[in-house]
């Protein structure tokens, strides 16, 4: 019985290694493509694939209780996202008119932000501070992307007689 259990454990560990190795290889290939990409829109769209592969790595690391690797991968994602945001802002400063890349990036950063939140709940105390820094940085990027896509308008409708508000018609006076 013990031999059978050890053989089963060995088989499942081998399967885990076989699945983890291609994932790491895929991440390194996508990372190399991301680093070489010069078109900011393509870079932002490529971050979706790279980020998904990196999040798969973090899920495997979390299952193996390898929070050090998890933190390093999250930090790399944050750095990649910052590079994509900066490239988009440089090449296409008007996100409201040229939304391509900005939308995909904002959606993906928000998705990863939720995953970081879920990770913070289960991470041991000593691994939380770096993850909290990554979370804060991703939240700032998410807000920045939303503000770039949907800038506030100073002349927008504001309630109760403030600048830009539509005046209300006066109520008719009652005659006695």
Q: What is the pLDDT of residues 70-116, one digit of tens each?
A: 999 999 999 999 999 999 999 999 999 999 999 999 999 999 999 99
Measured at the CA of 29, the angle between CA 16 and CA 35, to 5 degrees, comes to 140
Closest alpha carbon to 47 in 94, 112, 97: 112
How far is 81 from 122, CA to CA, in rounded Å? Answer: 24
Count structural domains, the chain. 1
Tell whether 25 is covered by a domain.
yes
Tell whether 167 is covered by a domain.
no
How far is 60 from 158, CA to CA, in rounded Å? Answer: 49
Specify the DSSP class assigned to residue 172.
P
Tell whether 174 is covered by a domain.
no
How far from the centroid of its chain's Cα atoms is residue 60's Cα? 18
Domain hosting 105: range is 15-149
Tell whether 6 is covered by a domain.
no
Taking a C-beta distance cutoff of 8 angstroms, is the pair 79, 31 a contact? Answer: no
CA trace torsion 55, 139, 68, 121 (10° rounding): -90
Tell whether 105 is covered by a domain.
yes
Least confident of 3-12, 22-31, 130-139: 3-12
Tell whether 99 is covered by a domain.
yes
Q: Which residue has the higher pLDDT, 15 or 65?
A: 65
Tell whether 158 is covered by a domain.
no
Q: What is the pLDDT of residues 134-171, one digit of tens each?
A: 999 999 999 999 999 999 766 655 555 555 555 555 55
Q: Is 124 left (phi over 0), alpha (psi -120 to 50) or beta?
A: beta
Specify the DSSP class assigned to residue 152.
P
Kindly report the pTM of this predicted structure.
0.75
How far is 76 from 68, CA to CA, in rounded Å? Answer: 12
Tell whether 164 is covered by a domain.
no
């Amino acid at each position: 019985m013990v031999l059978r259990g050890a053989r089963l454990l060995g088989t499942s560990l081998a399967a885990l290694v076989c699945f983890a190795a291609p994932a790491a290889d895929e991440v390194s290939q996508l990372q190399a493509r991301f680093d070489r990409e010069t078109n900011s829109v393509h870079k932002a769209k490529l971050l979706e694939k790279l980020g998904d592969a990196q999040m798969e790595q973090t899920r495997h690391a979390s299952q193996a209780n390898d929070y050090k690797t998890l933190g390093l991968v999250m930090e790399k994602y944050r750095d990649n996202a910052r590079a994509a945001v900066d490239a988009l802002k440089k090449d296409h400063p008007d996100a409201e008119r040229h939304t391509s890349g900005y939308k995909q990036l904002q959606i993906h950063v928000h998705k990863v932000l939720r995953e970081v939140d879920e990770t913070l709940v289960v991470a041991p105390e000593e691994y939380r501070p770096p993850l909290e820094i990554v979370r804060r940085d991703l939240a700032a990027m998410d807000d920045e992307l939303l503000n770039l896509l949907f800038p506030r308008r100073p002349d927008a409708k504001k309630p109760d007689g403030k600048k830009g508000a539509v005046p209300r018609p006066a109520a008719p006076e009652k005659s006695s």
